[in-house]
Amino acid sequence: PDVDPLEEGCPDTPPEFYEPCDEDGLECAYGEECCPGGTECYNTTFANCMNGEFLVAYQAIECAICPDTPPDFSDPCTDKEVGLVCEYGEVCCETTGECVNTTQAICTDENSFVIIEVDIDCPENDDPLEGPV
């Protein structure tokens, strides 16, 4: 749920189960956790005031994780992974130390990966090296 943890009437810290409260229907959220990349953040603790007592619920967060190896074009991905951008194939220029991931896999709304590949353009007399320098 999209709940403001600082809603008027909410305690500053998560209440304990059955802790007294004054406003039935009050919803409070606490414990924001963000997935890697910081694009998705979620609250992990919710407190609802019912019949003068807080009922507390905890939610586990499952973040989408990039596959260990690059997926192929049109490989399936899940609803949870939509928008996930995975980077692979780091290549570095020897003299500049600049490093670029040469492959991106992006999970689309159609629940499949699209693949973007780029070439690294190192300065003259500089050969790209596989992996970090």
For the stretch 15-27, pLDDT in tens is 999 999 999 999 9
Residue indicated by tokens 């999970």: 107
- pLDDT confidence bin for 58, thresholds 50/70/90: very high
Say yes or no: 59 and 95 in one domain.
Answer: no
Say if residue 131's pLDDT is above 70. Answer: no
**What is the pLDDT averaged over residues 95-113?**
91
Domain annotation covers residue 43 = yes
Helix, strand, coil percentages in the chain from 3-state DSSP, rounded to 5: 0, 35, 60
Percent of the chain with pLDDT strictly greater than 70: 86
Domain annotation covers residue 11 = yes
**pTM for the whole structure:** 0.55
Say yes or no: 8 and 41 in one domain.
Answer: yes
Say if residue 38's pLDDT is above 70. Answer: no
Say if residue 124's pLDDT is above 80. Answer: no
Say yes or no: 56 and 2 in one domain.
Answer: yes
Calpha distance 36→33 (Å, rounded): 10
The radius of gyration of the chain from alpha carbons, rounded to an integer in Å, stands at 23
Helix residue ranges, H only, the chain: none
Say yes or no: 23 and 58 in one domain.
Answer: yes
Question: What total of structural domains would you count in the chain?
Answer: 2
Q: What's the chain's average pLDDT? A: 85
Say yes or no: 96 and 56 in one domain.
Answer: no
Range of the domain at 84: 79-130
**Which region among 22-26, 32-36, 68-72 has the lowest average model confidence (pLDDT)?**
32-36
What is residue 79's DSSP assignment? G
Say if residue 60's pLDDT is above 60. Answer: yes
How far are the Cα atoms of 76, 86, 110, 116, 117 from residue 106, in angstroms, in the given order? 11, 6, 11, 8, 11
Counting beta carbons within 10 angstroms of the beta carbon of residue 123, is it exposed (0 to 12), middle (13 to 18) or buried (19 or more)?
exposed
